[in-house]
Amino acid sequence: MKKAVNFLTKIENKIVLDCLHAAADGPFFPNWEFSTLIGVNRDEVRETAKRLQQNATAGDDSWIITNTLNNLSGYPHDEFERWHEHFDFSKQDLHAILTKLLAKNK
């Protein structure tokens, strides 16, 4: 599969970057469960964000991105009430991007 973010808009790419940074450094996931939820550790999520930001290629990061978006939107992190404090986009925006990425993975 092509790199997942190659077909996202600039705004969608920014949302993905924001999600990667928030997952790696925000209050959403406990340390003891992070790797189980996302599939990689926090540093690897940061590296994925760095590659995305630099538009560098290092294989297909789509599964890290989709795992991150999926868990931000569904994991019971108790931050849904304060979503607007963390993000300048809606949960619906996140779901639309996740749906788009998953459709391209088929």
pLDDT tens digit sequence for 46-69: 999 998 888 766 567 889 999 999
Quick one: 67 exposed, middle or buried, by C-beta within 10 A (0-12, 13-18, 19+)?
middle
Higher pLDDT, 8 or 34: 34
Q: Is the pTM of this model over 0.75?
A: yes
Is pLDDT of 14 > 80?
yes
Q: How far apart are CA 26 and CA 99, in angstroms?
A: 23
What is the per-residue pLDDT for 34?
97
Phi-psi region of 70 (alpha: psi -120 to 50; beta: other; left: phi over 0): alpha
Higher-pLDDT residue of 92 and 79 is 92
